[in-house]
Amino acid sequence: MEDTIAAISTAPGESGIGIIRISGSESLEKALMLYRNKENQSVSSLENRKLTYGKIFDSEATAVIDEVLICYMKAPHTYTTEDVVEIQCHGGFVSVRRIMQQLLALGVRAAEPGEFTKRAFLNGRLDLSQAEAVMDLISSKTELSHGAALGQLEGYLSREVKTMRNKLMDLMAAMEVSIDFSEEEDIDEVTYHGVEEKTHLIIGKIQKLIDSAKTGKILREGLKTIIVGKPNVGKSSLMNALLKETRAIVTDIPGTTRDVIEEQLNLRGIPLVLMDTAGIRDTEDLVERIGVDRAKQLFEKADLVMMMLDASTPVTKDDLDIMQMIQKRKALIIINKADLPTALSQEDLPDWIEDHQILKISLLEEEGLDQLEEALENLIFDGEKKDREKQMVTHIRHQQALENALIALEEGIKALKNRMPLDFVQVDYQEAMEQLGIIIGQSVKEDLIDHIFSNFCIGK
């Protein structure tokens, strides 16, 4: 925390601008050792929060590295709450790297992954859940996932957690008063009833956040969605139709797809990892058999299954084998080639198939795709419309802490009902407070903090 750190904050490669960020008490001093103004003169200071044109020289002041715009931001009103200098040079590999090398030669330390945001957390500008939201915001791939990350960065979850912790502190204070006046039975009885009633309200809020975690995880991480079926039912055509581009080869020859094709898909704001696989069937072809085995392995790891049938052919043993695989999975059954004369009889399908939604489409005629997207959306969200993406839990760490807090409060309710001594009850409430504190970083171990920020990109 005492070091002055620097990192390249823009992605590597050709671009219009490259940015080097410096943070720490010596930021301005080190930057000015390399900077010259438009008259090629050294300066002793820079105006706060003003973008200034000039040049960056090497540490010997003998060679120009690049023309730059430089901005000095004085503590504490900065991202890290420390003095910060940002140098904007031309993008590309050479300029940013050479400027960074000069700063390191002057004794500035290269920032660790996420160290700027870590300092913002340790210096109190962000709590831990907000710091995590910074990385979520960077990695968001859809409007919904962006909205969820932005809501967390703006402090929705933090405010909810802090409010619940404050209410728990009030309840513990009420119990403390009752313990101090334990000889007064009326006070004791009022406390039991009052604490129990208010605890149920907190439990309701915690449960609501836990219920949002399923959707939050989908928006943050994406949903692994696999397309399965026997050969030549239209799996690759379906992938192309959903992606709205020709990604997979489509022919009339069964077994064209022999390996897994994986693409990212934004489906109505929902990030999907879409996987087209080899047609599942018994085959003597060695290469195709490897593809079939790989498809079966990915099937086990998928969150959502789209099984395709061919309306123009009767149900086969391969179809029935695949149906057996999806019996207890979250799956959508798609009957393709609805434009052709129907040879598929639903009477040949197993009875339990009615537990899954069945949709008829024609990829050749481009019919039923809107209904397919709507069906997928409903299946993912269990039929609920999620229009409050900013108000949800997106990290498994947060979900686990909420679940632990819920368990502790439910134990506290049991103790209250059994009229256990209130100092015993307080133990459960203290545990609930600590679990909620883990979310925002008020009761979290240093190694967990290090682990969280190690997953950040360098320069953030």
Identify the CATH number of the domain in which residue 292 sits.
3.40.50.300
Which of residues 380, 412, 431 is at a domain's end? Answer: 380
Which domain, by its residues, includes 443?
131-218+395-454
Both 314 and 436 in one domain: the answer is no
Output the pTM of the full model. Answer: 0.76
Both 53 and 154 in one domain: the answer is no
Both 158 and 229 in one domain: the answer is no
| Domain CATH number, residue 155 | 1.20.120.430
- What SS3 class is residue 251? coil
Cis peptide leading into 421, omega within 30 of 0?
Answer: no
| Overall domain count for the chain | 3
Give, for 117, the enclosing helix (H) or strand (E): helix 115-122
Asked if 321 contacts 295 with a C-beta cutoff of 8 angstroms, the reply is no
Sign, CA torsion 434/439/443/448:
positive
Both 430 and 408 in one domain: the answer is yes
Residue 116 is assigned to a structural domain of this protein: no
CA 215/CA 148 separation, integer angstroms: 10
CA 158/CA 391 separation, integer angstroms: 11
Both 228 and 175 in one domain: the answer is no
pLDDT of residue 62: 80
Both 254 and 229 in one domain: the answer is yes
Residue 413 is assigned to a structural domain of this protein: yes
pLDDT of residue 435: 95
**366, 257, 305, 230: CA torsion to nearest 10:** 90
Both 317 and 421 in one domain: the answer is no
- What SS3 class is residue 339? coil
pLDDT of residue 47: 94
Residue 243 is assigned to a structural domain of this protein: yes
Residue 124 is assigned to a structural domain of this protein: no
pLDDT of residue 421: 86
CA 302/CA 304 separation, integer angstroms: 6
Both 291 and 324 in one domain: the answer is yes
Structure tokens at 310: 């061919």
pLDDT of residue 206: 95
Residue 122 is assigned to a structural domain of this protein: no
Asked if 85 contacts 129 with a C-beta cutoff of 8 angstroms, the reply is no
pLDDT of residue 71: 97
Give, for 156, the enclosing helix (H) or strand (E): helix 156-180
Asked if 278 contacts 259 with a C-beta cutoff of 8 angstroms, the reply is yes
Give, for 263, the enclosing helix (H) or strand (E): strand 261-267
CA 265 to chain centre: 16
Both 294 and 362 in one domain: the answer is yes
Q: CA dist 206 to 195, 213, 419, Å?
A: 16, 11, 24
pLDDT in tens, the chain (460 residues): 899 999 999 988 888 999 999 999 999 999 999 999 988 888 999 999 999 999 999 877 788 999 999 999 999 999 999 999 999 999 988 999 999 999 999 999 999 999 999 999 999 999 999 999 898 888 887 888 888 888 888 888 999 999 999 999 999 988 887 776 655 555 566 678 889 999 999 999 999 999 888 888 888 878 888 888 888 888 888 888 888 876 554 445 444 444 578 888 888 888 888 888 766 665 555 565 676 777 777 788 888 888 889 999 898 888 888 888 888 888 889 999 999 998 888 777 888 887 888 899 999 888 999 998 888 888 877 655 554 455 688 899 999 999 999 999 999 999 999 988 888 889 999 999 999 999 998 877 888 888 888 888 888 8
Which residues are CB-contacts of 255 (< 8 A; sequence separation ≥ 6)? 231, 232, 278, 279, 283, 285, 288
Asked if 252 contacts 279 with a C-beta cutoff of 8 angstroms, the reply is no
Residue 389 is assigned to a structural domain of this protein: no
Strand partners, 88: 19, 69
Residue 431 is assigned to a structural domain of this protein: yes
Intra-chain end-to-end CA distance of the chain, in Å: 16
Using left for φ > 0, alpha for ψ between -120 and 50, and beta otherwise, residue 40 falls in left
